[in-house]
């Protein structure tokens, strides 16, 4: 569920709730008082990277799916919902095993919307500028930095690095300008490929590096290790992916 494109799908599927009023709110969340949601109209549903915001007149609730979060629309699961919102027309939206919290209403001041790779506001020039300002950062960490590439997760990281033939331990400052540009371009492009494949339920089938044993390009075994400050699982080909440092 949790990378940016999946949240984009969530936003699409829940657009029908914008403008509706919450007539019942419950769930096992401990972080907010669900009675405060009662009788509030949903003013907007937004995403920033992997986060989902429910904007109401007097509060904004943030949902983060973390690793295991799920949701259902007009459908129950066999697990208790973390947050369940029922609307005047009888429809409902349930979230499970996610993080729920109230955030400051000033969303525009809190988040850099130009950093969201799924957003119309995505600003590749600004992303390159942020990268140039962090020359010591490793490529594998840069892609997971939500301030630069909001919405990119570990799958997208591995696939982008493989696609642009960049070694995960390359330092950002050592990248030739064309490679830096490709990194930024593909962070967005792969995210939209991810979105299309996710919608047709063929995402895993299209993985070239993530969770793979052998390089599909040169057929030698992939390396697999937890790399970088982020210490996340990384798959790469020592032959195809060039190291810059």
Residues contributing to the site for DNA (CB under 7 A): 1-3, 6, 49-50, 64, 66-68, 70, 79, 96-97, 99, 144, 146, 153-155, 210-211, 229, 232-233
End-to-end CA distance of the chain: 34
CB nearer to DNA: pick between 40 and 137: 137
- C-alpha closest to that of 84 among 51, 38, 122, 141: 38
* Angstrom distance (rounded) from CA 61 to CA 105: 9
CB nearer to DNA: pick between 96 and 222: 96
CB nearer to DNA: pick between 92 and 194: 194
Both tokens of 78, joined, read 């066999």
CB nearer to DNA: pick between 42 and 195: 195
CB contact burial 144-158 (16+ within 10 A = b; e otherwise): bbbebbbbbbbbbbb
CB nearer to DNA: pick between 87 and 96: 96
Q: How far is the CB of 77 from DNA (least distance, A)?
A: 7
Q: How far is the CB of 110 from DNA (least distance, A)?
A: 11
Both tokens of 138, joined, read 């490793």
Q: How far is the CB of 33 from DNA (least distance, A)?
A: 17
CB nearer to DNA: pick between 40 and 60: 60
Q: How far is the CB of 88 from DNA (least distance, A)?
A: 28
Whether 208 contacts 163, CB under 8 Å: yes
- C-alpha closest to that of 6 among 82, 62, 65: 65
Bridge-based pairing state of the strands 22-26 and 83-87: antiparallel
Q: How far is the CB of 15 from DNA (least distance, A)?
A: 21
Q: What is the CA radius of gyration of the chain?
A: 20
Block residue for tokens 């080909």: 237
Whether 48 contacts 150, CB under 8 Å: yes
Q: How far is the CB of 233 from DNA (least distance, A)?
A: 4
């Amino acid at each position: 569920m949790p990378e940016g494109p999946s949240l984009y799908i969530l936003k699409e599927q829940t657009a029908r709730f914008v403008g509706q009023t919450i007539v019942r709110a419950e769930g096992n969340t401990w972080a907010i008082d669900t009675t405060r949601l009662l009788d509030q109209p949903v003013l907007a549903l937004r995403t920033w990277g992997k986060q989902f915001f429910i904007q109401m007149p007097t509060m904004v609730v943030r949902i983060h799916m973390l690793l295991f979060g799920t949701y259902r629309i007009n459908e129950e699961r066999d697990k208790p919902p973390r947050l369940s919102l029922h609307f005047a027309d009888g429809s409902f939206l349930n979230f499970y095993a996610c993080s729920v919290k109230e955030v400051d209403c000033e969303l525009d001041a809190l988040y850099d919307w130009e950093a969201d790779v799924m957003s119309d506001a995505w600003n590749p020039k600004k992303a390159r500028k942020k990268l140039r300002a962090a020359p010591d950062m490793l490529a594998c960490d840069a892609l997971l930095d939500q301030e630069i590439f909001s919405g990119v997760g570990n799958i997208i990281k591995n696939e982008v690095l493989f696609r642009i033939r960049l070694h995960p331990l390359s330092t950002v400052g050592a990248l030739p300008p064309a490679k830096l540009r490709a990194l930024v371009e593909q962070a967005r492009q792969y995210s939209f490929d991810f979105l299309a494949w996710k919608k047709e339920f063929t995402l895993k089938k299209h993985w070239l590096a993530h969770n793979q044993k052998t390089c599909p390009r040169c057929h030698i075994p992939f390396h697999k290790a937890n790399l970088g400050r982020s210490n996340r699982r990384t798959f790469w080909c020592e032959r195809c992916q060039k190291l810059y440092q």
